Chains A and B, each alone.
Chain A
Amino acid sequence: GAVVSQHPSRVICKSGTSVKIECRSLDFQATTMFWYRQFPKQSLMLMATSNEGSKATYEQGVEKDKFLINHASLTLSTLTVTSAHPEDSSFYICSARSPSGRFNEQFFGPGTRLTVL
Chain B
Amino acid sequence: GQQLNQSPQSMFIQEGEDVSMNCTSSSIFNTWLWYKQDPGEGPVLLIALYKAGELTSNGRLTAQFGITRKDSFLNISASIPSDVGIYFCAGQLGPSGSARQLTFGSGTQLTVLP
Residues of A at the B interface (CB closer than 8 Å) are: 4, 6, 32, 34, 41-46, 49, 57, 59-60, 91, 93, 95, 97, 102-111, 113
Q: Which residues of B line the A interface, CB within 8 A? A: 1, 3, 31, 33, 35, 40-45, 48, 50, 88, 92, 94-96, 98, 100-102, 104-107, 109
Instruction: Apart from A43-B104, A49-B101, A104-B100, list 19 A-B contacts with CB within 8 A.
Output: A4-B42, A32-B100, A34-B102, A43-B88, A43-B105, A43-B107, A44-B88, A46-B102, A49-B98, A49-B100, A57-B98, A59-B1, A60-B1, A93-B43, A102-B48, A104-B95, A106-B102, A111-B40, A113-B40
Q: Which residues of B contact A106 (CB under 8 A)?
A: 45, 102
**Could you count the A-B residue pairs with CB atoms below 8 Å apart for me: how many are there?**
65
* B106 touches which of A43, A107, A113 (Cβ 8 Å): A43
